[in-house]
Structure 1
Amino acid sequence: MTLGLPGHLARESLSRALATAGHAAAFACLAVLLAVGVIMAVFGGDPDAWTGSALVVLMGVLLGFVARFPTVTPTVVYLVVGTGIVFALTVLIMGPESRLETSNNALLALPRIALLLVGGAGSGSVIAITWGALGYGLGEAAAFLGATLAGAVWSPNLAAATAFGILVLVRAFDGLSRRSDSRQQTGLHRASQQTRELAIRHDYELRATARLHDTALSHLVAIAAAGSGPVDERLRVGIRQDLGLIVGRDWAIDHAVGPASADVAERLSAEADSRKLDTGSMRSAWLRRRQAQATSLDDTTPILTYAFTAAANAGLKVRVTGDSAVLGVLGARRAAALDAAVAQCLINVARHAGVDEAELALGYGAGEVTVAVMDSGSGFDEREVPPDRIGLRTSIRARIEQEQGTVRLWSTKGIGTTVVLTVPEGGE
């Protein structure tokens, strides 16, 4: 019985609701008793009825104070004073002129019910039943003493006993159902935690697979493109750094993001010169724009450093349309993921398309950054790609989808391939 509330709110809310219901029932009992006393005083001419009515009013005032400040001290005061009022009402009602045979009557049941209901306004089931038992016992004791003093016959009040039984049943059911809900919530919390752990583990597995695939493949392509003879020192240093990254603790952090450093710019220029690449290629155009826009671009604007370097290592010429400055609307992690995915697309072109040239188009619109990688190579049928090939599935598609992006691919054998990568702005 949690009303759909979280566990830490359900207990307090239900206890307050039950306490409010108890107060309302107690007020109703005292209101009925007060009405009877006024009627007897006005129409019956009984002067003792006015005294009883005053005592009922006093009990109602104390009840209102307990309802306003539902703490232990006001409740104890109410129980003590209420016990005295029940004793006094018993003496007045069961006096020598009373027509009531025993204390088991409706008039004496009303103040006792009010007493045990307020005593049952606890924060927990066990505490509430304890308060209720205390109120019921004090009411019966006060009625016994009052009946004895008035010379009347005392007997347990069935109405008060029934009210106490209902209180015990309600509070016991609330306690048992609350304990069951607590166990269920614990199970749900454990299942939710396991789901989050599996999602994190899956995310890291995808990152590890993509990082290992990208690093090994890019370096193998670079070594193959370098031809025979000694490996270039810059390539050797890059391989050593990437191997250190894979075996280190920071393997899952995307490092291929950030402003174009002097070392990166120098390397791209050297690669363009050594391979005699087209001066209108992506790398040369990007270098010229960085120099021309040095005063307008923020130093933290991300660039496709990893993709450009991978293309240069593979000997792939890249023509570009658009401006890499649109990547500035992306967070560091999202820009790095896009950079790595574009790099994998260019490596695939160098390995499988049978051409040495590709086109890269960058754009921004409707809150999304789009990068299209196009080639006029041999093309392929995505349905024929073996399931053990993870380049397109993991290094490109899964990586972009982890950043809430989409990957669309069009390829026709003998015509070429176009891969469109789209990611929303922002992100980490």
Structure 2
Amino acid sequence: MRTVALPRDVAAAVVVSGLSSAMRTVALIGSLLTTVMIIDVVSAAGRLDGSIALALAPAIAMALLAALLLATPSVRTATLYLVGGGVAAAASVVALVTLADVGSDPFLLNRVATALPLVGALAGSARSGVRWTLAGMAVAYASLVGGWLALGELGPVGYGPLIVGLIALSGFGLLASVRHRAKQRIPEFLAVQRAVLIDERERELQRRAAAAVHDTVLADLAAVSHAPGVISDRMRAHIVKDLDAIARPTEPRRAGRHADVAPAPLAQALLDLADGYRWNGVTVQVSGAEEVTAEVPATILDALVGATRAALDNVAAHAGTARAELVIGQRDDAIAVLVVDAGHGFDPAAVGSDRLGLRESIHGRMRAIGGSARVWSGDEGTTVMLRVPITPAAASSASAGAGACAAPVTPAEERDRG
């Protein structure tokens, strides 16, 4: 059973996303523990009255903001987390000093602010995590100083946010270092393999082209040179037919142990699609097409090719790169197609609902046939993964569902990324 391995950039983004989720979880748990600590301190001070609610409010607000960021991480929620958390951290200093009479103990005073550096990465790259962590540390200490200034003095701020921020920076820094060394020292074996296959296919095309010219044009020229007088209509028609065969697009490239086996209609359609993008200024490297042998209904084929075209149109129009990769894989129960580029990334969560490129041309098409689409995008490029089931039951239900709910999408909508 064959599987599709995620490109290295996507795998790195998954690791960064996991680390970021862990940090946000720690921020949420830490904020909840801070409420317990505040209750204990206020109880020890004998202030078990209405003032305890005021002392607990900043920590509870910080916990709610951490839960929101963990559930829906985006630039908007991260900004709200820092702004709202900064206000909560400053209010916590004021409340604890005035209501709980904790004096100038920085350990408890900076508990709320300690959660601020744990924003995590939002763009799938370690550099994004570094930037947001530094922003969180700056907001944390600015809020602590602001809280003391609101009391009319300048007390200690402690090292809690600094220690947490340095730990977060170490994690993201390690991931960035590993990624940088991997780019420098580890060859992209899949890319090398694809380059070798492409070179073999180009040589095969050259041999076929030479044979075609020899068997048609050169033979026709020899016939014309030996023909007495004006060439006949039959010979003219034969020459036109040969010229038309030479002018048509070259037969799709096949290589490897499947060289004598025609690709499945889906693989053939994706090969033709990728081959056509050289006229749009984008070189699309295809791998895995020779492994796709499943026969799928026309509705699934059209939807999968249409969604792939929309993703490649986005590369040509928005990515700012002249290269893309099209990886095709087949398992026992599904077909997966990945469109990968190393161009300008974008924030999928920031795409407006009125934009049809992602919502309809990609996600909508996949939903209509019972499949799914996922998008990873960041500083190192964008990957779109399309997956569609190919089991008989799923294929038949997808065909019925596609006929009922698939809406036509115009070429302009397909080129509309967001």
Q: TM-score, normalising length from structure 2?
A: 0.45
Specify which structure has the bigger relative contact order, considering alpha-carbon pairs within 8 angstroms and separated by 6 or more residues: 2
Which protein is bigger by CA-based radius of gyration? 1
